[in-house]
Structure formats: structure tokens, C-alpha cells
Amino acid sequence: MPRVLLLLPTSTYRASEFLAAAEGLGVEVVTGSDAPQALAFVMGDHFVELDLDDPEQAAREIEQLGARVRLDAVVAVDDRGALTAALASERLGLAHNSPAAVSATRDKATMRRLLAAAAVAQPAWREVAGVPGDLGAEAAAIASAASAVGYPAVVKPCSLSGSRGVVRVDDATAARAAAARVRSIARDAGIPGSAPLLVERFVPGPEVAVEGIVRAGTLDVLAVFDKPDPLDGPFFEETIYVTPSRLSVADLDAVGRLVADATAALGIVEGPVHGEVRLPHLAGGGAADDRGGAGAHQGPVLVEVAARTIGGRCARTLSFSAGQSLEELVLRHALGLESGPLPVRDDEASGVMMLPVERSGTLERVDGLERARAVRHVTGVEVTVSPGRPLRALPEGDRYLGFVFARAASPGEVEDALRAAHAALEVRIA
């Protein structure tokens, strides 16, 4: 029986899907987690406690485990274990992305450098070094970088996710204020004050997410999601994702080629890929005159690409030939269990809405769940924060309130169902 080491951080949303996929494939699972397991002694070599914030050390421990039990693959279920998986796979001689490639996807400035070297279309950008102890100097440097790339611009930390600390600024005053706010968010997340921030030109237009899998260096696009709510800032809360995309075939081809080029530029050669792409040539209104800087872009522009699957619970929207989940495809690939052509996504349109956190406070309760679940085409409504827990709105926020899922014949019906379900919910925040 093939055996996989799954790296499951305590904070992950992705555990149950990957465990179910492993079970469905008849694959034996060893769990690697940063949660000390009360029953670790009973689990023996089926559990290993790892410090996923110390990937080198975690990889050494996995190598020791690999000397006792055969491990056929090491798979990180999300970003936090990705570098550990790469380092451990290298030590164990398993096919995987290089640690350098994985690191590049986890540091937005490194990613921008590599994409620039390969001439992949991306926003104009500047890396601004932190100035510990002198916020005034840092704010001036951020404002000067923003005027160099041109307004509107975006200020962001290099290594956070979930749009945490990502802020659009339209002038120098806003840029200076954002510098302080983004720095404070970065500090709260444990990022040292000397770490650089990134300033980018804001790229207007619709945004899509691309889910793919790379096999021996070749990217296959598995799904493209439209994000029908405009992401114009100042903060960038993800809400609705719907697939298949309603973009034209020509635009979809261009998006696929861009993500493939980006993947190659970063050196991602195996496993899942999640890309985010903007299409400035489709920007409406006044933004049409401003395609992210002086007609810089004729086609799609890469926001970023990560060597992981789609985050949160969103992968539940995807199912492939014979009802296979995305996690099954990822495990099959990692374990070399693929046979024949890549499965195709099921015909039905499908989508998810990440429930927005409208303001910060304490979650009292969410009413209207039954009404939301009764909306036609809605297949699930899940609140992932317990009552009494603190909630923070973006840009500080770092977790999802919950998810609504829908399936229907067309993307439009899916989108309508998600909006109707959201309207039926009443989120009470004290």
C-alpha cells in the first residue's frame, strides 16, 4: 500500500479533504503536524510532531522517519508545510519542486524578480526595505516607490496570505498611512521590521483564479474561476468564485499561457499550482484608459502564483471524472498513481462564496442558516468560526467566517444562488 506523509498544520482548512482523498485511494497516511498529539504514543510511526516554522529541522526529522518507514511522498496540504515538503522530499530522493522554487512562491519580492527575469507580464513593482525604528523614513520610501510605479498603487507584505495587509493607495498621503498600517500588520504576524514591503502598480480589470497541476514541468489547467465581485480595493476581500469562467476562449488561452510561463519562471515543476490573474484590457469605465500603467499590458497580468491548491474550503467546488476530488488528483500525482489522460472537470457550473467579515468584533452568532441552505442550487453553508471568537475585518483579518457552496447548470445561476444565500444570512458581530 502506498504511504504518504501529509503535512497538516493545526490551522489548516484542508485536513479533512486530503484525509478523505487518501482513504478513497487506499493510501496509508502518516500525519506530520505542529499539534502535539495527546495520543502520539498510540499512533507510533503514523504521527510525527514537526515544527513547520523550522523547515530545515522538520525535514531532518522526516528523513529520520523515512529511514524507519518507507515514505512514497511528502505532501503539504497548504502553504505552511510547502517548504518542509520540498526539503524533506529532496532528502528522501522523491520527485518534488526544489526548495528554491517553493521559497520563491512564498516571498512576493523574490517571485517578482524571477518573473521579471523571464519577462512574464506583471505589475510594475518596487521592493522597499524596512527601516526599523523609523516609521517616518519608511513611509517616505513607500510613498516614493508608489509614485515611481504610478498611482493607484498597492502596498503589501512579502509573505502573508489571504489578502492580509494588502492595501490600495491612490496618493502620497494614503501611501504613507498604508506604510504604517501594513508594517503593523506584518509585525503582528511575526515579520521582522527589517523585512521589505512590496509596492506595486494597481492593475485594474476582472480577476480570475487558475487551478492547475504541473507534471514534469508541464502545466495542465484544471479550472479557471471568475471572481465576479470587483476587487478594486482599498482592501481585497475574496468573496465569490465561480467556475467555469465566462471569459472568452482567447482570454482563457492567454491566461493559461501566462500561468504556465510564470510557473516555469519560478521553477515549479511538479504538483498543484494556484494562480491569480488580472485582465486590464477588460477593465470598464475610467479604468479602461489606465491599464495599469501607460498601456503597459496588452493581455492578462499575473498577480501571483503559488505551489499549492486553492485555499480555504474552496476546493470542494471541484470534481473531476469519476467524481474525483482535487486532493485525489494531487495525491495520485505525488504518489505516481496517475494513469491515462488527466481527468476533466465535471460539466456542471460550481462556486463558493467566502463569507465576508464586514467589521471587527466578537462573533455572536449567524442566523438564517436554514434559509440559506434552502436556496435553490445551494449545496452547503458552513460557518467556520465559533460563536464568542474574535473576528477581524481586512486588512488585519486572517481567517474566513465561513463558506457557501452552490452547483447549477450555468455560472450565472451559481452566482445568483450564492448571493441569495448570503442575503439570507444574518451575521451578528458584537
> Do residues 52 and 58 lie in contact, with contact meaning Cβ atoms separated by under 8 Å?
yes
Residue 203 partner contact from ligand ATP, Mg ion, none using kind-dependent CB cut-offs of 5 to 8 Å = ligand ATP
User: Which CB atom, from 276 or from 328, has the smaller least distance to ligand ATP?
Assistant: 276
Per-residue binder mask for ligand ATP (CB under 6 A), 140-159, x = binder: --------------x-x---
User: Which CB atom, from 274 or from 377, has the smaller least distance to ligand ATP?
Assistant: 274
Residues 6+ apart with CB under 8 A from 395: 163, 164, 165, 166, 167, 181, 182, 185, 235
Torsion, Cα 128 134 140 143, to 10 degrees, reads 50
Torsion, Cα 21 24 29 31, to 10 degrees, reads 40
User: Which CB atom, from 303 or from 421, has the smaller least distance to ligand ATP?
Assistant: 303
Q: Does 80 bind ligand ATP (CB under 6 A)?
A: no
CA distance 164 to 182: 9
- At its nearest, how many Å lie between ligand ATP and the CB of residue 171? 16
Which range binds ligand ATP by CB under 6 A, 15-23, 59-67, 163-171, 366-374? 163-171
Q: Does 352 bind ligand ATP (CB under 6 A)?
A: no
Q: In 3D, which of 205, 200, 207, 206 has the Cα closest to residue 150?
A: 200
Which range binds Mg ion by CB under 5 A, 64-72, 183-191, 249-257, 274-282? 274-282
Which range binds Mg ion by CB under 5 A, 184-192, 275-283, 343-351, 383-391? 275-283
For 341-382, the DSSP string reads SPPPBPSSEEEEEEPP--S-EEEEEEE-HHHHHTSTTEEEEE
**Range 248-287, binding ligand ATP (CB under 6 A):** 276, 278
On the 0-12 / 13-18 / 19+ scale of CB atoms within 10 A, 320 is: middle
User: Which CB atom, from 163 or from 350, has the smaller least distance to Mg ion?
Assistant: 163
User: Which CB atom, from 238 or from 413, has the smaller least distance to ligand ATP?
Assistant: 238
Q: Does 12 bind ligand ATP (CB under 6 A)?
A: no
Q: How many CB atoms lie within 10 A of CB 199?
A: 29
Candidate list 164, 407, 419, 422; residue touching ligand ATP; CB under 6 A: 164
User: Which CB atom, from 162 or from 351, has the smaller least distance to ligand ATP?
Assistant: 162
Per-residue binder mask for ligand ATP (CB under 6 A), 198-217, x = binder: --xxxx---x----------
Q: How many CB atoms lie within 10 A of CB 362?
A: 12
User: Which CB atom, from 29 or from 315, has the smaller least distance to ligand ATP?
Assistant: 315
CA distance 92 to 72: 9
- At its nearest, how many Å lie between ligand ATP and the CB of residue 403? 14
Q: State the cell numbers at 83.
A: 517548504
CA 99 to chain centre: 18
- At its nearest, how many Å lie between ligand ATP and the CB of residue 155? 9
> Do residues 103 and 83 lie in contact, with contact meaning Cβ atoms separated by under 8 Å?
yes
Q: Does 332 bind ligand ATP (CB under 6 A)?
A: no
Q: How many CB atoms lie within 10 A of CB 389?
A: 11
> Do residues 103 and 82 lie in contact, with contact meaning Cβ atoms separated by under 8 Å?
no
Residues that bind ligand ATP (CB under 6 A): 123, 154, 156, 160-164, 166, 200-203, 207, 231, 236, 238, 276, 278, 303-304
Residues that bind Mg ion (CB under 5 A): 276, 304
